[in-house]
């Protein structure tokens, strides 16, 4: 859980004539949020910097419990905002409006990649496809020197070692991003497992709680292979796979490839989208993180702090640097402007 408190002050003007202009150092309020572990590294740094150097009277408490938990707590009104790697669907939006008495607001704040990570650093750069990833998790491909993997990696000396696939044990947006990708690309996966934040995994697989748990299990298991947010792989020095995209190119999951994937997204006005059929230089297993809030019902101090924090996260140069250093791809100017308009809806209904 990331908790940050105030220690310093800064005085300057931000924003433009968009309803979000505030004098720095004037806000106060306790804001609570819960949800995805996918963006936790960048959220931690954003919260720490914002509450110690931007708005020191604000306290933000974010608990990384997984996207499923974040959606649940948001709909139960247990937190001020939720965070998820999938958007709220029509049925969930209806529930949100019913329980709150006003519409929900949801907007993306960051893009990131879901990487396939290995225990063995000698496997760094190994090439995988959607089909081989699906077959590994289906326990059809059992060893690293399976003919299908050898054919993709003719220049690697793959060991005759059992693959120990690791998945998330909690309701997870990271699981949603991976399972959506596999269900889109691999027919048998769509029929047998489908997609979701929590799916019925093969019984002969390992489980870890959160990105931290999967990372630790992969790191500590001979033959371990798992899916995690790119930032966790970077922070823990895990070897990662290159994944073949829609154009048949094996792509390393770096920041440039995540940015290229996000650039291909067609994002509608309701911000309900997936990153599908990624080609070019884009990494194919990529997704966004959404923030979930409401149009009404907040104490005004909380609402002002909530609006300002996310506006700052999208527009401040320091926030952008933090995100890119951790391997996340910020949004472009046009999308940022659209999202800022959505942020301004928070508590806008009397």
Question: Element (H or E) spanning 23, and its range?
Answer: strand 22-23
pLDDT along the chain (350 residues), means of 10: 32 37 75 94 96 96 94 97 95 97 97 96 98 98 98 98 97 92 97 95 96 94 96 90 98 94 90 94 96 97 97 96 92 93 93
Q: CA 277, CA 220: separation in Å to the nearest integer?
A: 33
3 state SS of 4 = strand
DSSP alpha helices (H): ranges in the chain?
40-49, 67-75, 90-100, 130-137, 147-152, 173-185, 187-192, 210-220, 230-235, 255-263, 300-315, 317-325, 333-343
- pTM for the full model? 0.86
Q: Are 144 and 161 within 8 A, CB to CB? A: yes
How many C-beta atoms lie closer than 10 Å to residue 204's C-beta?
11
In sequence order, what are the residues at sequence separation of 6 or more whose Cβ sits closer than 8 angstroms to the Cβ of residue 194?
179, 183
Q: What's the confidence (pLDDT) of residue 179?
A: 97
Diameter over CA atoms, the chain: 65
Sole residue written with tokens 């996310």: 310
Print the SS3 string covering 129-170: CHHHHHHHHCCCCCECCCHHHHHHCCCCCCCCCECEEEEECC
- Ramachandran class of 280: left when φ > 0, alpha when ψ lies in -120 to 50, beta otherwise: left
Is the distance from CB of 320 to CB of 330 less than 8 angstroms?
Answer: yes
User: How far apart are alpha carbons 31 and 39 in whole angstroms?
Assistant: 17
Residues of each domain in the chain carrying CATH 3.40.190.10: 2-112+289-343, 113-263
| Strand 58-64 relative to strand 29-35, pairing | parallel
Q: Is the dihedral of CA 187, 193, 198, 204 positive or negative?
A: negative
Q: Does domain 113-263 have CATH number 3.90.1150.10?
A: no
Task: Spell out a b/e string for 263-301, using b for 16 or more CB atoms within 10 Å of the CB, else e.
Answer: ebbebeeebeebbeebeebbbbbbbbbbbbbbbbbbeee
User: 317-325 vs 300-315: helix axis angle to the nearest 10?
Assistant: 70
> Which two structure tokens, joined as six digits, stand for 273?
């989208």
325 CB neighbour count, 10 Å cutoff:
14
pLDDT of residue 234: 86
CATH top-level class of 2-112+289-343: alpha beta
């Amino acid at each position: 859980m990331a908790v940050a408190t105030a220690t310093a002050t800064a005085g300057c003007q931000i924003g433009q004539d968009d309803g979000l202009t505030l004098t720095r150092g004037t806000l106060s309020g306790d804001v609570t949020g819960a949800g995805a572990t996918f963006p936790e590294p960048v959220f931690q740094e954003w919260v720490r910097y914002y509450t110690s150097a931007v708005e020191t009277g604000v306290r933000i408490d974010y608990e990384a419990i997984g996207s499923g938990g974040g959606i649940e707590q948001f709909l139960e009104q247990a937190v001020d905002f939720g965070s998820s790697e999938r958007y709220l669907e029509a049925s969930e939006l209806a529930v949100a409006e019913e329980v709150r008495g006003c519409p929900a607001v949801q907007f993306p704040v960051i893009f990131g990649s879901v990487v396939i990570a290995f225990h063995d650093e000698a496997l760094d750069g190994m090439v995988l496809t959607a089909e081989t990833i699906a077959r590994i998790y289906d326990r059809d491909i059992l060893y690293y020197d399976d003919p299908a993997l050898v054919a993709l990696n003719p220049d690697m000396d793959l060991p005759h070692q059992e693959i120990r696939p690791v998945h998330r044990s909690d309701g997870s947006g990271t699981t949603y991003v991976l399972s959506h990708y596999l269900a889109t690309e691999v027919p048998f996966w769509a029929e047998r497992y489908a997609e979701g934040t929590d799916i019925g995994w093969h019984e002969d697989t390992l489980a870890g709680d959160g990105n931290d748990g999967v990372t630790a299990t992969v790191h500590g298991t001979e033959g371990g292979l798992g899916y995690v947010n790119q930032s966790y792989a970077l922070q823990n020095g895990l070897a990662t796979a290159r994944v073949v995209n829609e154009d048949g190119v094996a792509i390393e999951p770096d920041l440039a490839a995540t940015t290229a994937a996000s650039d291909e997204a067609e994002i509608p006005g309701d911000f309900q989208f997936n990153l599908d059929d990624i080609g070019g230089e884009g990494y194919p297993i990529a997704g966004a993180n959404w923030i979930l809030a409401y149009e009404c019902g907040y104490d005004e101090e909380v609402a002002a702090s909530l609006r300002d924090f996310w506006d700052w996260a999208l527009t401040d140069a320091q926030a952008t640097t933090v995100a890119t250093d951790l391997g996340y791809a910020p949004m472009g100017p046009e999308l940022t402007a659209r999202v800022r308009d959505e942020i301004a809806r928070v508590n806008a209904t009397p």
